[in-house]
Structure 1
Amino acid sequence: MTARRILITGATGGLGHALVQEAMGRGAVVRATGRQTGVGAGLSALGAQFVRCDLTAPDADLAALLSGCDSVIHAAALSASWGREADFIAANITATRRLLDAARVARVTRFVFVSSPSIFAQLADQVQIGEYHPPAARPLNAYARTKLAAERMVLAACDERMATCAIRPRALVGQGDRVILPRLAQLASRNRMPLPRGGAALIELTDLRDAAWAICEAEARTPALGGRALNISGGKPIAVRDLALRLAAALGKSPRLVPVPLLLARQLAHVAQTVASITGAQQEPVLTRYTLATLAYSQTFDLAPAQRRLGYQPQHDAVETLLGEARRMASVGGAA
C-alpha cells in the first residue's frame, strides 16, 4: 500500500510537532509547514519535509505546498485569548479559507481541521459536553469567534470529492506547550493567587500525544466522519484549586490562595475588558470574561462519541504531564 502524503500546518508548534511524530509513526509521508526555521530543522531531522510558509501571507504558494498531498491536517492558528480582531480573522478564517480552496484545486481528498473547545466557553458550568452541544451564542473572544467560523466553513465544505472533519482538543499540555504551562506558572509564582468561586470549577487537560493520536486517527477515518466535529480531552476532571496547589508545589512555590466572590470577579472582568477594549490595549487585562469562564466555571466533555467514532482512549495522565513539565521548568529556573 502506498504511504499517504499528509500536509501538517502549524508543525512548529507543540501540537504540530506531536502531529508530525504521530503521523510518521503511522507510516505517512509528512510535509510539515510553519514559520520557525529552527524547529523546522528538527522536523527535517525526524524525516519530515519541512517547508517554511506563512499561511497569512497573500503571496504564500499554497499550490506548491499542497502538490502531491492526499490529506491536510490544519493545525496552524493564532491561538491567544487577547489581540486584534483583524489578526485573528487573517490567521484563523482567511488563511483557512485559502488553504481549503487550494486543497480542493490540488485534489486533496481529506481535510482535518484542528478546532477548539473555546467555542463553548461561557459564564456558566457545562459538564459532559456532548457531540451535538451547541457553541456559545456569543463567543467570549476573537479567538473563539474565528475558530468557530473556520470550523463551520471546513465542515460545510465536506462532499464526495473532499471529506472534512474537525477535532477540538481541550487545554493541551506536554513538551512544546507554550500556552497553558507558562500562563499557569505565572499565576502560581505570585504571592497571592485569586480563585473565583474558590477554585471549585472543573477543568480537563489533554496530553499533546493523545491529541495527536486522535487527530491522526481522524485523518485515517475522515470519509466515515465526514462533516463531523469531535471533542477531545484527557477525560480526568480536576478542580482548579487542586490543580493550582499541585502545580505550585511542582514549581517550588507556595502562593496564598484567595477566594474571590463570583459577583465581584464578574464585575472586575467586565470593567477590565471594557477599559482595555476602549483604550486599544495590546496587553491582555489581568482578568477577562474568557479567563473568568476558564477559571470559575466547569467545562468537561463526554468522550463517548470520540471513543465510538475513533476508538479514542487517553493513554497519558495530562495532569501528571503538566506537573512533570513544571518540575523540569523549575529545575532550570524557568519559573523564577
Structure 2
Amino acid sequence: MTARRMLITGATGGLGQALVRAALERGDRVRATGRSAERGARFAGTGAHFIPLDLVEADDRSLRQLVGGCDTIIHAAALSASWGPAENFERANVVVTQRLIDLARQSDCRRFVYISSPSIFATFKDRLLIGPQDAPADPPLNAYARTKLAAERLVIAANDDHLACCALRPRALVGEGDEVILPRLAQLARRRAMPLPGGGRALIELTDLRDAADAVMLAEDAAPQIAGEAINISGGVPASVRDIATSLARALGCAPKLVHLPRGLARVMATGMEGTARLLNRPGEPVLTRYTLATLGYSQTFDPEPARRLIGYAPRHDALATLIEDAQRRAAMGEL
C-alpha cells in the first residue's frame, strides 16, 4: 500500500491519538491537529507533525495551510457533550465539517473519512442489531446528536468521483486516551449508591480504541470502493450496564449499593432537570439528561455484518477487559 499524506483532526482526543498511532504504523505521513498545544506535545518524536489549531476559530488561510497537500482527511474533531448551547455544536460540528469538505476539494484531496456518532440512534427504546436499513432517531435527543447527523449527511452528500467520502460511527470507546466513559463510570463506582436506570439491564457494546482506529484505517484504504457509506462500528460483545458497572467497581475496590431506577421515573427526572437548567441558565450539565438516560437505560447494539463485508472489520480486543485494565492502571497512578 502506498503511504499517504494524511490530516487527522481531533488528534489529541482518545480516538485521535489512536488514529495517529495507527496511521504512523501503516507508514503514512501524518499531519495532526487539535486545540491544545500542551497535549500535542505528546506527539514529539513520533513522526507526526502536530499543528495546534482551533478549527472553529481558524481563519481560511490557516485551514487552507492545514489541508494543503493532503491525500486524505480523517475528521475526528467535534464538540462532544450531551449538554450546551446549540449554536456551539452547530459551529463546531457542522460549519467546520463543511469548511473542510470545501477545502479538501480545492486542495485536490482524494479521501474524506468522517467520524460520526452512534448518538444519532439514541432514543427511549431498545434497538438491537442496528443496520443500514435502520433510521436515526427522529428527532435527535440533543444538539450533539443533531449536528453529528447533519455533518454526516454533508459528508455523504459530498461524495463524488473526485472526493471519496465515507463515515464511521464507533460505539462507546474505551482504552488509552479515553476521557469520557471511564472517568464517568469511575465517579459513579465510587459513590455509596449507584442508580441504574431500568436496573442496568440495557446492553452496550464497548469498543477498544485500537479496534476503532483499525476500522477507520480500513475504511480510509477502501474509501473509493465504499464511497457514500456510513458504517456502524463496535466491539461486537454486548454487555449489560449493570455488569460493566459492577466489574469496574470491583476493579477499583468499590462496592456501591446498586439502586434500581425505573426508566419512566428516570425520564421524568431527566426532563425536569433539563428544564430547570434552562430556566435558571445554568452552565453545567444536569446530573441526568435525557440523552444520558437513553444511552444507559436502553439497549443499543450493531449488526456486525456490514462492517465486516464492506471493510473487513473484525474487533481484536476484549473491550471490557481493556476498560478494567485502564481503570486499574490509572487508579494506581492516581489519575482516577
Using structure 1 for the length normalisation, give the TM-score.
0.97
Alpha-carbon displacement from aligned partner over 1:53-92 (angstroms, at most 9, x marks no partner):
1110142511111111101000001111111111111110
Matched ranges for 1:80-229 at <5 A: 80-229=81-230
**In 2, Cα distance between equivalents of 1:42 and 1:245:** 33
- 1:290 is matched with 291
Which shows bigger deviation, 112-121 or 52-61? 52-61
Alpha-carbon displacement from aligned partner over 1:288-318 (angstroms, at most 9, x marks no partner):
1111111110000001000001110100111
Aligned partner of 1:251: which letter? L
- 2:14 is matched with 14
Query: 1:279, CA displacement in angstroms?
Result: 2.1
- 1:319 is matched with 320
Q: Would the aligned equivalents of 1:196 and 1:295 in 2 still touch at CA under 8 Å?
A: yes
Residue correspondences, number:
335
Aligned partner of 2:200: which letter? G
Aligned partner of 2:294: which letter? A
Q: Would the aligned equivalents of 2:118 and 2:232 in 1 still touch at CA under 8 Å?
A: yes
**3-state SS of 1:92 partner:** helix
Alpha-carbon displacement from aligned partner over 1:239-268 (angstroms, at most 9, x marks no partner):
111111001111111100000122211111
- 2:310 is matched with 309
Aligned partner of 1:38: which letter? E
**In 2, Cα distance between equivalents of 1:204 and 1:187:** 19
Matched ranges for 1:51-90 at <5 A: 51-59=51-59, 61-90=62-91
Q: Would the aligned equivalents of 1:252 and 1:330 in 2 still touch at CA under 8 Å?
A: no
Q: Would the aligned equivalents of 2:3 and 2:26 in 1 still touch at CA under 8 Å?
A: no
**3-state SS of 1:7 partner:** strand
- 2:46 is matched with 46
Using structure 2 for the length normalisation, give the TM-score.
0.97
Q: Would the aligned equivalents of 1:8 and 1:31 in 2 still touch at CA under 8 Å?
A: yes
Give the CA RMSD over aligned residues.
1.1
Alpha-carbon displacement from aligned partner over 1:193-249 (angstroms, at most 9, x marks no partner):
011111111011110000001001111111111111000000000011111100111
Aligned partner of 1:53: which letter? L
Query: 1:2, CA displacement in angstroms?
Result: 4.9
- 2:253 is matched with 252
**In 2, Cα distance between equivalents of 1:44 and 1:231:** 32
**In 2, Cα distance between equivalents of 1:231 and 1:33:** 25
Aligned partner of 1:193: which letter? M
Aligned partner of 2:160: which letter? D
**In 1, Cα distance between equivalents of 2:255 and 2:236:** 28
Q: Would the aligned equivalents of 1:8 and 1:74 in 2 still touch at CA under 8 Å?
A: yes
**In 2, Cα distance between equivalents of 1:246 and 1:52:** 38
Query: 1:148, CA displacement in angstroms?
Result: 0.4
Aligned partner of 1:200: which letter? R
**3-state SS of 2:33 partner:** strand
**3-state SS of 2:132 partner:** coil
Task: Could you tell me which runs of 5 or more consecutive residues in structure 1 were left unpaired when the two chains were aligned.
Answer: none
- 1:263 is matched with 264
**In 2, Cα distance between equivalents of 1:14 and 1:112:** 17
Q: Would the aligned equivalents of 1:10 and 1:34 in 2 still touch at CA under 8 Å?
A: yes
**In 1, Cα distance between equivalents of 2:111 and 2:21:** 19
**In 2, Cα distance between equivalents of 1:175 and 1:72:** 23
**In 2, Cα distance between equivalents of 1:36 and 1:290:** 28
Q: Would the aligned equivalents of 2:267 and 2:293 in 1 still touch at CA under 8 Å?
A: yes
**In 1, Cα distance between equivalents of 2:214 and 2:97:** 22
**In 2, Cα distance between equivalents of 1:151 and 1:261:** 34
Query: 1:131, CA displacement in angstroms?
Result: 1.9
**In 1, Cα distance between equivalents of 2:110 and 2:330:** 41
Q: Would the aligned equivalents of 1:251 and 1:329 in 2 still touch at CA under 8 Å?
A: no
**3-state SS of 2:45 partner:** helix
